[in-house]
A and B are shown apart, each in its own frame.
Chain A
Amino acid sequence: MNKISAVLYRLALLPSSVYERLGINTAQLSLILRYKLIMDDRYPNSFQQARSASRKKNISNATFGTMIMAFLMGLIYIVFFITGRDLLTHLTFFFSAYLFMLASMLISDFTSVLIDVRDNQIILPAPVNDRTVVTAKLLHIMVHLSRLVIPMCLPSLVMVFIQYGAWDSIAFLLLIVLASVLSIFLINSLYLLVLKFTTPSKFKSFIAWFQIGFAVLLYMSYQLVPRIADMEVFQQFSITEVPYAVLLPSYWFAGAQLFLTGIDMLHTWYWFLLTVGTTVFSTILVIRWLAPAFNSKLSLISGSGGDADSGQVAVISRRRKGIGDWYASIFTTAPLEKAAFLFSWKWTARSREFKLRVYPTMGYVAVWMGLTIFRKIGNVATDDPSVQNLSAFIALLYFSAFVLINAIFQVNYSEQYRAAWIFFSAPVEKPGPIITGSYKSMLCKFYLPAAIILAVFGMAWYGPGVIPNLLLGLSNELVICSLLVTLGKKKLPASLPSANKVRSGAFLRGFFILLISGTVAGIHFLLHRFTAVVLLLFVLSVIANWLLLNQLRETKWAEVKVE
């Protein structure tokens, strides 16, 4: 266990007497948690391959990188303390943003930890009660989450300390902890609740759809809030003017902060009570009522050794030509590339893991697209079509790469990564075609549809004049993705372990790559009126794509990352 984990481990086990009262075996709890944390450090690090003794005690660079990213994200939160008229508004915005970020990370990065079926063979046969197992899993998630949450909240905490003093910042910290616990338990209680009432096979698909739905919902609310008014009005905005705001948990937390710091206590005590109440309630709900039966259900999710729900055997209908086969025959030439194309195509269509990690980002992009189109239609009367304000469209062009970026990253990770031995034992001279085949299939699946929608939308709205910018945007998106695949160690599809590593940085990582595309988008926007330049850049961009793809095709075995 590294030092950071060790400190958090001790913190997590502080309320032992509470755990005991809830029927948890604390000795087993600390044991399970300790071993889970030890194992997190032992598994091959996806950033550094070397398993040298030197990193035994050190915190890996990846952990630090993630923490720095979280800190930078936290700096953005300071903005909330200068928007709006009053403290209640500041705090409501802060807690909304915080809960959103936390929920997104929980959903995209940590669901796999909760429903990790590797425990089945180890913990379930041992005499460990359900509450202990569930609590150990949740504490495990919390330890990982703390690494992100602490640096993320640090800037705001310092801000509160400077502006309002020590007591305020302590109260603020307390509420941040409460908010974290609340979101962890609420999201998990929903999972457990559903698991309690459905079959495991339905649960699998529920999770995927819930994640997408929730992500979309959160994102939509996030998108809509700042659009209530423009920035100048916004400075004078107070959340108290919006009556339905009292329904937002972030509003309760803001109210609780006011109570704790002695502001208007007569009218804020109930917010404090509400936050504490819901947090305690969700905790008890999970541990007391939902944890039992969780494990027995979990054991049914496992794929190993014959699914218990074998009544539902997945039969793949054998259409003579699926769309995947059709794409493969168009976009691939060599049989090897075609085989890899079809493999990635099918694998990503069926792997629950992959869907859990990629589909929520599809939700974000869909909402962004929807909102952009919606706003365009809404502005139909006011907009002068002769004034081509392409900023929203260009932003959309680049933002839609988010899904693809995520997909090309996740396609390489699988619980069944050991099955990748076939790539190594087969007479494959250069793994390049396997990598390009897999990459092309991700392009067909996650890039083509988006590109078509964007093209249709762009042409319909802006007319044929948009074509140069459309082409440049689409091509640049590809260059960014091709660079991501080409730079660094190349990876074969489904060949690297995933479930064994809590990839807590995945969500933030995607966000930062997005910042890079944002920069490219910004430059594109500055140049978008100069059609000749845009066309020239488009040609260069296409050449870059062609070169990158060729280089990728020439990948040698030595360049491939092995688990």
Chain B
Amino acid sequence: MEAIIRMEHLYKSYGDKQVLRDINLEVYPGQVIGYIGPNGAGKSTTVKILCGLLSDFEGSVVVKGFDMKQDPLSIKRIIGYVPELSDLYEVLTPAEYLELIAGLHELPAEIASTRIPKMLAAFGLEGQIHQRMDTFSKGMRQKVLLISGLLHNPDILILDEPLSGLDANSVIIVKELISRLAAEGKTIFYCSHMMDVVEKVSDRIVLLNEGTIVADGSFESLKTELGQGSLENIFARLTTQGLHHDAASDLVSAFDLPYISRTAEDE
């Protein structure tokens, strides 16, 4: 089978800081990739490159036969992106915001106008369709963002912490959605810090540390390769190099340092 996403020798740096070092990754249609790594490992940078938001990278990124450097537009058409921070225009209503997204994707108006209310209703937002989003909770905004990523029926869905702020029921819906979309042959690129969820939803886990891929395989194969335990333990073993367990005690012992507060001074 032909890979739908192929990254080869991907490098990216911000000034002197090398963020990605030689990323090589092939993703196949229908796969759910759990893309994990510690803070600052380069996850978001990879995602931004994949969405065409960062263009000054080295190496090659080919998505469904389109080269990112040559034809980013064709790639943007088949990718749906749900960003991590819920940045959206709050003064709009969900319907208006999604109409804007539809317009940007040049979706025909009649398709947009039937799809938008249906999708909002599926997330239980039918009552808020014409309400401004400035009163929305984080979870409600997240739902709108999820819909904005799905609206144009993309082949590849890139989710960056998609469950943040969602209530338990919505988490179930999203997890269900991910497996349904994967069954339909859609590819899902799932970035998260929530190991238990990644463990459950993804059929392939890619672990990134300091800009390089340090583990790649199904959860089962990672377990046999790296020893029993949860994904959390595997993650910790590969990314902390033993610094990890001391952190908590270091934090607590910091209180013992000479500590002069304003009130102590006054007294």
Contact = CB atoms under 8 A, between A and B. Distances in A.
Interface of A: 27, 303, 305-307, 310, 313-318, 335-336, 338-340, 342-343, 346-347, 350-351, 414, 416, 418-419, 421-429, 434, 494
A538 to B, nearest CB: 34
Contacts of B109: 335
B96 interface: yes
B137 interface: yes
Which of A340, A421, A429, A494 has the most C-beta atoms of chain B within 10 angstroms of its own C-beta?
A: A421
Contact of B92 (A346, A429, A434): A346
Interface string B90-108: 1111011001111111111
A342 B99 contact: yes
Contacts of A418: 85, 87
B131 interface: yes
Interface in B37-79: 51-53, 73-74, 76-77, 79
B102 A427 contact: no
Contact of A303 (B95, B100, B134): B134
Given A315-B130, A422-B101, A429 B52 contact: no
Interface string B124-135: 000000111011
A422 B148 contact: yes
A315 to B, nearest CB: 5
B83 interface: yes
A414 B135 CA distance: 18
B91 A426 contact: no
Which of B88, B92, B108 has the most C-beta atoms of chain A within 10 angstroms of its own C-beta?
A: B92
Contact of A317 (B91, B101, B130, B134): B130
Given A416-B88, A425-B51, A307 B135 contact: yes
A421 B104 CA distance: 12
A347 B91 CA distance: 7
A306 B105 CA distance: 30
B237 interface: no
Contacts of B74: 427
Contacts of A423: 104
A425 B89 contact: no
Given A335-B108, A425-B79, A428-B76, 19 more contacts: A27-B262, A303-B90, A305-B138, A313-B132, A315-B132, A317-B130, A318-B95, A335-B106, A339-B100, A342-B99, A342-B103, A346-B91, A350-B91, A416-B87, A424-B53, A425-B76, A425-B81, A426-B76, A426-B105
Contact of A339 (B89, B95, B104): B104
A305 B134 CA distance: 8
Which of B53, B77, B132, B138 has the most C-beta atoms of chain A within 10 angstroms of its own C-beta?
A: B132
A101 B256 CA distance: 56
Given A307-B134, A315-B131, A335 B73 contact: no
24 contacts: A27-B262, A305-B137, A306-B136, A307-B134, A313-B135, A316-B93, A316-B130, A335-B108, A339-B102, A343-B96, A343-B103, A346-B91, A347-B89, A347-B91, A347-B92, A350-B92, A416-B89, A418-B87, A422-B88, A422-B100, A424-B53, A427-B74, A427-B76, A427-B77
Interface string B19-33: 000000000000000
Q: Give me the 7 closest cross-chain CB pairs, A-B, nearest first.
A: A339-B103, A426-B104, A427-B76, A350-B91, A418-B87, A314-B132, A427-B77
B73 A429 contact: yes
A418 to B, nearest CB: 4
B23 to A, nearest CB: 20
Contacts of A307: 134-135
Interface of B: 51-53, 73-74, 76-77, 79, 81, 83, 85, 87-93, 95-96, 99-109, 130-132, 134-138, 148, 262
B260 to A, nearest CB: 14
Nearest to B129: A318
B103 A427 contact: no
B137 A306 contact: yes
A440 to B, nearest CB: 14
A312 to B, nearest CB: 9
A326 to B, nearest CB: 15
A343 B104 CA distance: 11
Contacts of B262: 27
A414 B134 CA distance: 14
A343 B100 contact: yes
Contacts of A419: 87-89
Nearest to B158: A425
B103 A336 contact: yes
A92 to B, nearest CB: 44
Nearest to A348: B91
A351 B91 CA distance: 7
B89 A306 contact: no
A419 B85 CA distance: 9
A414 B102 CA distance: 22
B131 A314 contact: yes
Contacts of A429: 73
Contacts of B76: 425-428
A48 B91 CA distance: 29
A139 to B, nearest CB: 21
A314 B135 contact: yes
A310 B90 contact: no
Contacts of A314: 131-132, 134-135
A346 B92 CA distance: 7
B137 to A, nearest CB: 6
Contacts of B73: 427-429
A317 B93 CA distance: 11
Contacts of A427: 73-74, 76-77, 104-106
Nearest to B92: A346
Nearest to A430: B73
A305 B79 CA distance: 29
B89 A318 contact: no
Contacts of A338: 103
Contacts of A313: 131-132, 135
Nearest to B77: A427
B131 A421 contact: no
Contacts of A318: 95, 130
A303 B52 CA distance: 30
Given A306-B137, A316-B132, A426 B101 contact: yes
A73 to B, nearest CB: 34
Contact of B104 (A346, A416, A428): A428
Contacts of A494: 89
Contacts of A422: 88, 100-101, 104, 148
A350 B93 CA distance: 11
Contacts of A425: 51-53, 76, 79, 81
